[in-house]
Amino acid sequence: MGFLRRVAGVSLRDRTDYFVICTEMASFKPTKVQVYPKLGEKVTQDTLYWKNYKAPVQIKEFGAITNIDFSPVAPHNFAVTAFTRIHIYGPFSQEPVKTFTRFKDTAYCGRFRSDGQLLVAGCEDSVVRLFDVSGKVALRMFKGHTKAVHVTDFTSDRYQILTGSDDYTCRLWDIPNATELNTYQEHTDYIRCGVTSKLNRDLFITGSYDHTLKLFDARADKSVMTMDHGQPVESLLLYPSEGLLVSAGGRHVKVWDLLKGGQPLVSLKNHHKTVTCLCLSSNGHRLLSASLDRHVKVYNTTNYKVVHNFDYAASILSLALAPDDESIVVGMTNSILSIKHRKSLEESKEISSQQRRQPSYRVFVKGKNYVPKQDDYLVSKPVKQHLAKYDKQLKKFNVSKALDTALETWTRLRKPEITVAVIKELDRRGTLKNALAGRDEQGLARLLNFLIGNMVDPRFAPVLVTAAEMILDIYQSIIGQSPVVDRQLLRLQELLEREIDYQQDLLEVLGMLDTMFASSLPRKEVPCPGVSRANGLAQGESSISRPQVQAT
């Protein structure tokens, strides 16, 4: 009343100016979108370590990349085996520094010797070729296999070569004399992976598509240990201590204890498709596995839990880590070679400094330590308010258009909390029923689809239940006229019935847990002063009250 009296006491023109000022002061408040906690991955030391790589450098090869091997000596070039070629790349080069093309068919498994001077590779034509890294022509050609050779490696003494072939045999070759030393024919299917011991020149292990791993000793005529992986074996890896062996085949990665006769220790099944290659970090504390499902998993070798994950664009055939984990190189089925280099310390600092807020204009004009004086006047610019599309419609009181804007495909799928916030704001204003009414079949179906996708979410349920009740009240007369809307309503009914059943089951489980917790707690007697423990009566009272007779 006091407000009306003050307004009535001024002229008409003054009243108009007064209401304009009041309207400008009461500016539009944007819709408050509630921020919900994100249930993302925890930021651990592994996350920070494995995410500290630059954007990948991608190089197109001539075919699927089947093998990648880093040179053990500086500058740690790496050999990429793809189709009929082996390219050698420098640590930071995007063009090959060396190319070996003396293959008549597809090349396989190009590997460096421990001194980085020689490179050996198998081929589809069954010939094993030995190259000098500084030359072009093959130094030796080892012939004896009858089918494609997929496995090659040097022994630790540098003078012998191990090979494994699709003819079910593995062989040892002498480099100086170019002769075959021994042949082992124990596998019953293709030999597709193998590894030599770095501590003992006579020991090597092979893996085959017959599901077995076999440990051989060159001093014996047959294998000394056999392990069954259960799936065709694609890759093998020895720990630096060589007490543990890791095998990959099918969707499984298995760890074997060689010191206990090949006893299985761990079986991991974290991939959705065949695991194709294995790798170990420079310190030996992290195991990496790559698969046809386009993922690279990083495991902690203490508990073998996944600590990080890399995603790639295509199925992965080969994987290698540079010394000190400076680079991650991945070869894929689409002939793309992906190289990720670790960020330097200066680059990491530069990125963090760019993310800091830049100083304001007055800092540059007045200086960092400027203190305003008592007589100074602060002239501030009016801050322009930037409103979202739905807020602009709400400001114009177009409630139906505001809800339509919040129900756009990207918003309702990626940011459902925005749609829920708009519905909540409309309900607060009392205009939600008007916004929901007057919709055609397509608009109503889109609204019901949003309710079906988010109704059972506990974050949104209190708001969406109110909206669902209003929709049923408004459109109950048209039920049966649109098959699309009828199907949506049936789905919503089934969803709610199933959710109610879940809630009832959870309440029953909660009741069981309460009973179990109550029965497991020790009972404590609470003594009451002046009460007998025998019968619960106060001391001095008799259990049977007798009338007192007064003598006359």
* Tens digit of each residue's pLDDT (9 = 90 or more) over 306-335: 999 999 999 999 999 998 889 999 999 999
Q: What is the pLDDT of residue 348?
A: 61
Q: Are 194 and 217 in contact (CB under 8 A)?
A: no
Q: Are 308 and 48 in contact (CB under 8 A)?
A: no
Interval 440-464 mean pLDDT? 86
Q: What is the pLDDT of residue 324?
A: 86
Label residue 546 by pLDDT band (50, 70, 90): very low
Q: Are 144 and 171 in contact (CB under 8 A)?
A: yes
Q: What are phi and psi of 321, to 5 degrees?
A: -115, 135
* Tens digit of each residue's pLDDT (9 = 90 or more) over 209-254: 999 999 999 998 889 999 999 999 999 999 999 899 999 999 999 9
Residue of 359, 318, 321, 355 whose CA lies nearest to 340: 321
* Tens digit of each residue's pLDDT (9 = 90 or more) over 518-541: 887 776 665 655 555 444 444 444
How many whole angstroms separate alpha carbon 153 and alpha carbon 318? Answer: 16
> 112 in helix, strand or coil?
strand
Q: Are 149 and 120 in contact (CB under 8 A)?
A: no
The CB-side HSE value for 393 (13 A sphere, CA atoms) comes to 15
Q: Are 103 and 62 in contact (CB under 8 A)?
A: no
How many whole angstroms separate alpha carbon 119 and alpha carbon 130? Answer: 6
For the chain, state the CA radius of gyration: 38
* Tens digit of each residue's pLDDT (9 = 90 or more) over 82-91: 989 999 998 8
* pTM of model > 0.85: no
Residues paired with residue 340 on neighbouring β-strands, in sequence order:
328
Task: Please give the sequence-ordered ranges of beta strands (E in DSSP) within 36-190, or none if there are none.
Answer: 57-60, 65-70, 78-82, 85-89, 98-100, 107-112, 118-123, 128-132, 138-142, 149-154, 160-165, 170-174, 179-184
Instruction: Give yes or no for residue 14 having a pLDDT over 50.
Output: no
Q: What is the pLDDT of residue 8?
A: 41
How many whole angstroms separate alpha carbon 36 and alpha carbon 54? Answer: 31
Label residue 6 by pLDDT band (50, 70, 90): very low
Dihedral of CA atoms 462, 463, 469, 473 in degrees, nearest 10, equals 160
Instruction: Give yes or no for residue 545 having a pLDDT over 50.
Output: no
Geometric angle at alpha carbon 97, from 96 and 102, rounded to 5°: 80
The CB-side HSE value for 308 (13 A sphere, CA atoms) comes to 18
Higher pLDDT, 232 or 356: 232
Q: Are 86 and 110 in contact (CB under 8 A)?
A: yes
Residue of 460, 397, 463, 407 whose CA lies nearest to 434: 397
How many whole angstroms separate alpha carbon 419 and alpha carbon 389? Answer: 12
Q: Specify the amino acid at residue 230.
A: G
* Tens digit of each residue's pLDDT (9 = 90 or more) over 256-296: 999 998 899 999 999 999 999 999 998 889 999 999 999 99
How many whole angstroms separate alpha carbon 45 and alpha carbon 474? Answer: 54
Q: What is the mean pLDDT of the chain?
A: 83
How many whole angstroms separate alpha carbon 511 and alpha carbon 383? Answer: 56
